[in-house]
Amino acid sequence: MQRALGFVCALALAAGAMRAGAAGLPDCSTFGWNMMHELELLAQPAQSIAAAADAKSAPRIDVDVPYSVRLRPRADVAFAHAPGKDAGGDAGAGGLLVFRPKVAGAYRITLDTGLWVDVVRGGELVASSGFRGRQPCGPIHKSVGWMLSADADLVVQLSGPATEAVRLTITPIPAGDQ
């Protein structure tokens, strides 16, 4: 049974790689998750926004929209919760965004650079359900998944080495790709 499931997964990844090649997108078949939707989004022009220094002034982001997020010096950011990993220290960059899922379920945040990403709800970190990061995968550096409830504002925290901007998108995770 496990062999059959493994074979089906391999076929799905191969089909995704063929679709990616046909669409002129990078081959991310070694990524471990089907990233076709994210690749298609990140190939589109991004909406430019500035990350906030605090949760109250954080811009709202939506599902299935590619963003180019201008970051701030990390020392200027008042995180809603201490980042889950010290990635870059005060010399790094960071910022806050707000996301409100309309439907409870599995979501992932996909980034084009090596930043740490947290989701905070009610002042507490939401545990991630998994992550992937394989190179080469074109514009995707990493993708992190979470199970999120609906109708509550969530703070998306970005922190890491000094960088001016990050491209990101939030997408629902397809069933079977968690």
What share of the chain in percent tops pLDDT 90? 65
State the amino acid at position 153 in one-letter form.
D
For residue 108, the tally of other CB atoms under 10 A from its CB is 27
Q: Using an 8 Å Cβ cutoff, are 160 and 115 in contact?
A: yes
User: What confidence score (pLDDT) does residue 13 get?
Assistant: 37
| Cα end-to-end distance, the chain, whole Å | 19
Domains of the chain: 33-172 (2.60.120.380)
8 pLDDT more than 60:
no
Predicted TM-score (pTM) of this structure: 0.83
CA distance 101 to 94: 22
pLDDT in tens, 19-41: 444 456 777 877 788 889 999 99
- For residue 136, whether the previous peptide bond is cis, meaning omega lies within 30 degrees of 0, is yes
| pLDDT of 157 over the 90 cut | yes
Q: What is the mean pLDDT of the chain?
A: 84
Of residues 138, 125, 131, the one with CA closest to residue 108: 131
Six token digits for residue 147: 């199970």
- Find how far residue 37's CA is from the centre of its chain: 12
Secondary structure class of 164 (helix, strand, coil) = coil
Of residues 108 and 135, more confidence is placed in 108
**Strand, coil or helix: 90:** helix
Could you tell me which of 125, 109, 111 has the C-alpha nearest to residue 161?
Answer: 111
| Out of 10-14, 47-51, 79-83, 118-122, least confident range | 10-14
Which range has the worst mean pLDDT, 75-79, 95-99, 130-134? 130-134
CA gap 99, 119 in Å, rounded: 9
Q: Where are the alpha helices (DSSP H) in the chain?
A: 2-22, 36-42
Tens of pLDDT, residue by residue over 100-114, are 999 999 999 999 998
At 139 the pLDDT is 87
As a residue count, the chain comes to: 178
